[in-house]
Structure 1
Amino acid sequence: MTQLNAKQTEFANALYQAYAKNEPLTESDWTGVVTDDDTAYAVQDQVMQLKGQPVAGYKVSLTSKQTQDMFDADSPLYGQQVAERFLTAPADVNLADLNEPLVEVELAFRAKEDLHSNDSLDDLLHKVTVAGALEVPDARFKDWFPSLGKYNVMSDCAVGGLVVLGTEKDADLVFSDVAAAATVNATLVKDGKELASGTSAEVLGNPLESLKWLVTKLEAQGKGFKAGQVVSSGTFVLPPHLTAGKWEVHFDHELGDVVVNAK
C-alpha cells in the first residue's frame, strides 16, 4: 500500500476541505505533489476516509481516446463516491452547491451481487441493473476543465460531482446480449434545444468493458465491486458546462428520459 508523505497528506486534507466547504483550490499550489497513479489513488482513498461514509459507487473517466488525449492518459481512471451524490431523476440541482460542473451522458450499472475480475462480459450482463444517467462532473479546483492534470483528477475522486439515475432495469432484460449494450443512442437537450447526441459505443467500445475494467482494477488494488454499488461508466459525448435550465437526456432501448433542473 502506498504511503503518503506530509505534503500528499496535506493535499488530501485540502481536497476534503474544498469538498466540504465548496471552496475550490488553485491547481498551481499543488502541482507536482502527486506524480504517479498509485499515489493518486492513495490520496483519493484518504479523501474518502475523511468523508467518513462508505463507498456507494464509482465513476469511470477517460473512456474514449479523445478524453484520454485531453488529460495525457492512455487508460481510464476511476473515482469513488458517497451515497448522497447519487440522485434519482427527475432531480433539482442547486448550482450554488457546485463549483464548475459539466454534463455527461452515461449508462450506470448497479451490482445485484458482488462482481469479480474473472466474470466475463456476459456474466456481468446478468449480474447488474442498467439505467440511463446524467452525470455532473465537478472538481475541487478553479478553472479545471479541460486543463486539470491527470494525477490531480485522480486524487480528486476523478472529479466526481453528482450522478442522476434514471429507472434501473435488469441489464439482461434491456440487452439481448453483450453486443447490444454498445448500441444505446442518447440525445442531450437543454430547454428544448438539442445540444449533442452519442452512442454507448463511445465508452471503450462497449460500456460493459468499462465495468469490467473497473472490477478488475479494484480487485488488483485489494478492493472489490460489491452488491449494491453503482458505477457511472463513461460519457457518450464531450461534456458541456452545466448552466441554469432544464436538462434532459433521451435514451432508446426503453431506458427512458433523465431530467435535471439546474437553478
Structure 2
Amino acid sequence: MKPLTTIDSEISVEEAYHIQLKNIEAKTEQGHKIVGKKIGLTSKAMQNLLGVNEPDYGHLLSNMVVENGGNVPKKGILQPKVEGEIAFILKEDLKGPNVTAMDVIQATDYVLPAIEVVDSRITDWKIQLADTIADNASSAFYVLGGKPIKIEDVNLELIGMVLSKNGEIVNTGVGAAALGNPIQCVAWLANRVADFDISLRAGEVILSGALSAAVDAQEGDSFVARFAHLGEVSVRF
C-alpha cells in the first residue's frame, strides 16, 4: 500500500488523528472494545527520523491481545516488528489537560513488562508521521507478562530491559529511553488525547513506549523481553 501522504501531502497531524478515530469507531461497531492506548515515537531518535518533536498514540482493542508465551495470529500480519515496553494498568481515570507525573502515579494500579507488535500497511515502512497516526500508530498486537508491581516500588527511569530473538540478545534498553521516564509518557498521552475529548479510563492498559529500536520478526521467530524487577514477557510468530 502507498503512504497516505503520497495522496495528500498536506494532511495534518490533527486530520490523521481524526482518520484514526473514524477507523476505531468502525472497529467498535464491529464488536471490538477499546481496552487501552499505546504511545509511539517516544525516543528522540525516532522523532528525528520522522522530523517531529512529540510522540504519537493509538488505541488498543480487545482483538489485539496475545497471551504471554502465545503465538501472534498469522492472519493480517504483514511486516511485523517487536518492541519491549512497560505497561501501566490504571485504577483511576486520567483526564487532561494538565495531568502531571504525580497524577499518573496516583492513577496507576500496577505496571507490567510488555511486548508490542507493530506493523504497517505501507510498503517497506516508508511512512511519515501522518501515515502511522492514521494507521492507529502502527499498532497490531500486544502481550503482557511478568507480575504486577506497584509503581512506587520501582524506579521506572532506571529499569533495564534485554530483548532476545531466538535466544540471541538483539536489543537492550532502559526506562529513560521513553521521554526520560515512562511516567512522563503517560502524562503526555492523557494531555494529548484531551484535545479530542478522550480520557484514559480506569482498567485500561497503557503501553508507554519502546525502550529500544523495533526488531523485525518473521514466521518461526520467538522473542523474550526481560525487565529488571518486572520479570519477562514472550511471544512467538
Q: TM-score, normalised by structure 1?
A: 0.82
Compute the displacement of 1:70 (Å): 1.4
Separation (CA, whole Å) in 2 of partners of 1:119 and 1:222: 14
1:39 maps to what in 2? Answer: 15
Structural mapping, 1:1-263, within 5 Å: 25-27=1-3, 30-32=6-8, 35-51=11-27, 52=29, 53-117=32-96, 118-128=98-108, 129-144=110-125, 147-175=126-154, 180-243=155-218, 244-253=220-229, 255-262=230-237
Give the root-mean-square deviation of aligned CA atoms: 1.8
Compute the displacement of 1:29 (Å): 8.4
Letter in 2 for 1:125: I
Greater shift in the superposed pair: 32-41 or 198-207? 32-41
Structure 1 gap ranges (5+) = 1-24
Q: Pick closer, same or farther for the CA change 1:55–1:28 going to 2, 3 Å.
A: closer
* Segments of 4+ moved more than 6 angstroms: none
Q: Pick closer, same or farther for the CA change 1:170–1:257 going to 2, 3 Å.
A: closer
Q: Pick closer, same or farther for the CA change 1:216–1:28 going to 2, 3 Å.
A: closer
Cα pair 1:125 1:171 within 8 Å, conserved: no
Separation (CA, whole Å) in 1 of partners of 2:87 and 2:37: 10
Compute the displacement of 1:43 (Å): 0.4
Percent identical pairs in the alignment equals 27
Separation (CA, whole Å) in 1 of partners of 2:7 and 2:143: 32
RCO (CA 8 Å, sep 6+): is it higher in 1 or 2? Answer: 2
Separation (CA, whole Å) in 2 of partners of 1:139 and 1:171: 34
1:41-88 Cα distance to aligned partner (Å, 9 max, x none): 110011011112332111111101100011121111101121120223
Cα pair 1:248 1:257 within 8 Å, conserved: yes
Structure 2 gap ranges (5+) = none
Q: Pick closer, same or farther for the CA change 1:183–1:131 going to 2, 3 Å.
A: same
Q: TM-score, normalised by structure 2?
A: 0.91
Separation (CA, whole Å) in 2 of partners of 1:124 and 1:136: 25
Q: Pick closer, same or farther for the CA change 1:87–1:174 going to 2, 3 Å.
A: farther
Cα pair 1:126 1:172 within 8 Å, conserved: no
3-state SS in 1 of match to 2:103: helix
Separation (CA, whole Å) in 1 of partners of 2:184 and 2:137: 18
Please identify the structure whose Cα radius of gyration is greater: 1
Letter in 1 for 2:11: T
3-state SS in 1 of match to 2:124: coil
